[in-house]
């Protein structure tokens, strides 16, 4: 096919397009700590690809869900591998988002004019956690069932809208067919679509403002001031992607996704525990009453979402920068509660 034929039908200026996609990147992005935003983006692609393939076999119906996962794990060629990569990549995405959040926080890159970039980022963190929570319940093993029950109880304890939120999650008064349909639609359609929209807005804002520079860090003398996105930064991202693919494979082979006992509403398991990324919240909930626990999580999420403005207010009030101390305290609480729950 002649290029002229295509150009006539798709009259896009390719030179302008390559100029747009090849903005010079600041030198400090050579350091991996600063380039962490690309990692959750790559793992999101892994999640979408493996998730689509898992859907070929998964049946979102209480009587058949567990059997379809068992069939995929034991009979389908490489089914166990797909499930394991999907599971490990979900954990990896959460680790990457948390590390990226810490780098953005501790370098003060959320400050004016990047408040909205931060807010879209915070929404991405919440949506990534919601993906983990909803995916966990689809397997319909004992922990999925009781996990969904705990989730609906937490929704029920929300101030003011508890009853409505609980019915919204359950699709009725208890975990049943409508609940699984809701978790399935949320996991494969609503949350991924929202994540894609939020990633697009987040990256558009990063492009519009350019990357922050020299907020709380000094450029190294050996670093160039800027370097081209293509091929330099693309190659860095590619190297990270290949390393992660190898790591995910090793984890999938060494620690494949397991399958517990099928869901049984009549038997409450002795230990109900969510995935590791909810350990800190789970520990917190154990230390308080349900209502205060849920209120605490809600307030913490609001502070995180509006942090650039909270930080601005604190700086005006105290004339000092308290953000590093606040950030260190928040990281310590999350780490200590997570380890505490893991050892319990
Ligand atoms: C799926 C999740 C996310 C993706 C794919 C993503 C992607 C990115 C990318 C590619 C960048 C460019 C710089 C870099 O590579 O680090 C970036 C910058 C940024 N991100 Fe994220 N991000 C995510 C989550 C978050 C979260 C949870 C926050 C904070 C709550 C956040 C806040 C920011 C801010 C403020 C910047 C601008 C940093 C600067 O200019 O130095 N992002 N993000």
- CATH code, domain carrying 209: 1.20.810.10
Residue 285 covered by a domain: no
Residue-level pLDDT at 213: 77
Residue 304 covered by a domain: no
Domain count, the chain: 1
Residue-level pLDDT at 24: 84
Residue-level pLDDT at 342: 96
Tokens of 184: 């399935």
Nearest ligand 1 atom to the CA of 35 is: 15
Q: Which of these, 306, 296, 281, 299, lies nearest to 120 by C-alpha position?
A: 306
Residue-level pLDDT at 113: 95
Residue 11 covered by a domain: no
Question: pTM here?
Answer: 0.93
Does the beta carbon of 203 lie inside 6 Å of ligand 1?
yes
Ligand 1 centroid, distance to 96 Cα (angstroms): 10
Q: What is the mean pLDDT of each run of 10 residues along the chain (344 residues)?
A: 86 84 83 90 98 98 97 97 98 98 95 97 98 95 92 93 95 92 98 98 94 70 81 92 97 97 90 92 95 95 98 92 96 98 94
Domain of 242?
32-269
Nearest ligand 1 atom to the CA of 39 is: 5
Does the beta carbon of 65 lie inside 6 Å of ligand 1?
no
Question: What b/e sequence results for 173-205 when a residue is b if at least 16 CB atoms lie within 10 Å of its CB, and e otherwise?
Answer: eebeeebbebbbebbbeebbebbeebbebbeeb
Which residues have a Cβ under 8 Å from the Cβ of 86 and sit 6 or more positions away?
A: 46, 47, 50, 51, 54, 135, 257
Does the beta carbon of 35 lie inside 6 Å of ligand 1?
yes
Residue 321 covered by a domain: no
Which residues have a Cβ under 8 Å from the Cβ of 31 and sit 6 or more positions away?
A: none
Nearest ligand 1 atom to the CA of 307 is: 30
Does the beta carbon of 101 lie inside 6 Å of ligand 1?
yes
Does the beta carbon of 120 lie inside 6 Å of ligand 1?
no
Residue-level pLDDT at 149: 93
Residue 5 covered by a domain: no
3-state helix, strand, coil in the chain (%, to 5): 70, 0, 25
331: helix, coil or strand?
helix
Residue 337 covered by a domain: no
Residue 117 covered by a domain: yes
Angstrom distance (rounded) from CA 124 to CA 128: 6
Residue 209 covered by a domain: yes
């Amino acid at each position: 096919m002649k290029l002229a034929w295509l150009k006539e039908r798709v009259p896009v200026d390719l030179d302008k397009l390559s100029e747009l996609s090849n903005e010079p990147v600041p030198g400090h992005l050579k350091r991996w700590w600063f380039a962490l935003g690309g990692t959750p983006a790559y793992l999101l692609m892994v999640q979408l690809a493996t998730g689509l393939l898992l859907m070929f076999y998964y049946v979102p119906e209480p009587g058949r869900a567990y059997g379809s996962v068992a069939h995929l794990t034991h009979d389908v060629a490489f089914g166990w591998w797909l499930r394991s990569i999907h599971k490990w990549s979900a954990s990896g995405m959460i680790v990457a988002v948390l590390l990226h959040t810490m780098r953005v926080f501790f370098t003060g890159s959320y400050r004016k004019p990047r408040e909205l970039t931060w807010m879209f980022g915070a929404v991405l963190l919440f949506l990534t956690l919601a993906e983990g929570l909803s995916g966990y319940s689809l397997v319909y093993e004992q922990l999925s069932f009781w996990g969904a029950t705990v989730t609906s109880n937490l929704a029920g304890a929300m101030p003011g809208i508890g009853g409505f939120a609980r019915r919204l999650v359950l699709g009725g008064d208890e975990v049943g067919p409508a609940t699984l349909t809701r978790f399935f639609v949320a996991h494969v359609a609503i949350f991924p679509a929202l994540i894609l929209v939020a990633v697009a807005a987040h990256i558009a804002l990063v492009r519009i403002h350019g990357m922050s520079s020299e907020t709380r860090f000094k450029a190294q003398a050996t670093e160039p001031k800027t370097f081209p996105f293509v091929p330099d930064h693309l190659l860095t991202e590619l190297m990270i992607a290949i390393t992660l693919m190898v790591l995910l494979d090793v984890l999938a082979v060494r620690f494949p996704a397991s399958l517990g006992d099928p869901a049984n509403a009549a038997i409450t398991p002795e230990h109900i525990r969510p995935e590791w990324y909810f350990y800190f919240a789970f520990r917190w909930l154990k230390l308080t009453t349900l209502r205060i626990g849920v209120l605490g999580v809600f307030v913490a999420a609001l502070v995180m979402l509006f942090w650039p403005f909270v930080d601005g207010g604190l700086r005006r009030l105290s004339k000092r920068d308290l953000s590093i101390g606040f950030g260190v305290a928040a990281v310590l609480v999350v780490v200590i509660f997570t380890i505490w729950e893991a050892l319990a």
